[in-house]
Amino acid sequence: MQVEVYGYEEDINEDNFYIPTQAEYEDFGEETEEWDIASEKPGLWENIRKKKEREGKNYKPAKPGDPDRPTKDAFKKAQSGDSEMAIEQIMKMHDQLMEVVAKMQTMQIPVEFQDWTKDMISKAEIYVQNVYDFVKYYEPGKYEEDSADASEYQGRKVTLNKPFRTSNGPKKFAVYVKNESGNVVIVRFGDPNMKIKKNIPERRKSFRARHNCDNPGPKWKSRYWACKSW
C-alpha cells in the first residue's frame, strides 16, 4: 500500500475487493472499461469464491467501514416479499420522510446532522435509487427465481476509471485503475469530512493551485483523482 497525503493505493485481495452498485458509481468524464476479475485474476477470484463458501450466509463483500451491509440471505428475503407488503413498507417510509421534511421546513434553526445520520441518509439514497431503478425497468418473467449464477457472474466485474462512493470508508471515493505495470489496483481518495466546492471559483482555484492540479500525475495515484474531483 502506498500512502499519500491525498489518499492511497492498494493491491486487490479477497478482503478489499468490492463490486459497487451502479448507483454508487460517479462519472468523472474518463474513458472506462469493464474488468473481469475471474478471467484476469483466476487465482484471486478462486480465493474470493472459497471465502464465500467458507463464510456462507455471513459472507459480506469487503467494503471498508460498512459492517452492516446486508447478507445474501437477508437481501433475497427482502426481494421475495410480495408487492402488497412492499407497497406498505414504501408508503410508511414516504410518510415518515414527508413528516421529517415538513418539520425541517418550519424550524427556525437548521438541523445540524451528526455524522452517523449523514451516513444513514447517504445509504438510504443509494438503497432507494436501487429500488426505484428495479421497479422502473421491471419486466415480468424476465427474472429467474434463483439468480445465484447470474449474480455470481455479475459479481466478477468492475468498471475501471469510474470512481464510486465509499460513504463509510476511510476515504470518500475509491476507483479501480491499471497501474504502470498494467495491474489493476484500488485508489482511495477524498477527505470524507471535506465538502467539494466546485461551484465556488475561488475555492476551486485555491485547491487546484495548492495541489498542482495542472500536472496531476498518473491515474494510479490519488492526487490525479483528487484533482479530478475539483
CA angle 52, 47, 161 (to 5 degrees): 95
What residue segments make up the domains of the chain, in order of their start?
2-68+148-229
> CA nearest 227: which of 180, 165, 163?
163
Report d(CA 44, CA 62) in Å as an integer.
14
User: pLDDT > 90: what percent of the chain?
Assistant: 28
Take residue 54 and report the three cell numbers written for it: 467458507
Residues contacting residue 73 through CB under 8 Å, at least 6 positions apart: 57
Q: What confidence tier does 159 reach under pLDDT thresholds 50, 70, 90?
A: very high
User: E strand or H helix at 10, and its extent?
Assistant: strand 7-11
Burial class (CB in 10 A: 0-12, 13-18, 19+), 130: middle
Chain centroid to CA 178: 19
Report d(CA 74, CA 25) in Å as an integer.
23
The pLDDT value recorded for residue 75 is 45
Q: Which residue has the higher pLDDT, 44 or 59?
A: 44
The pLDDT value recorded for residue 54 is 77
Q: DSSP assignment, residue 180?
A: T
Report d(CA 58, CA 50) in Å as an integer.
13
Q: Which residue has the higher pLDDT, 177 or 79?
A: 177
Take residue 220 and report the three cell numbers written for it: 494510479
Alpha carbon distances (Å) from 158 to 25, 152, 178, 199, 230:
10, 13, 12, 30, 24
Residues contacting residue 65 through CB under 8 Å, at least 6 positions apart: 166, 168, 169, 170
State yes or no: pLDDT of 86 exceeds 60.
Answer: yes
Quick one: average pLDDT of 189-205? 73
C-alpha dihedral over 213, 162, 197, 191, to 10 degrees? -80
CA angle 217, 20, 223 (to 5 degrees): 15
Q: Which residue has the higher pLDDT, 143 or 130?
A: 130
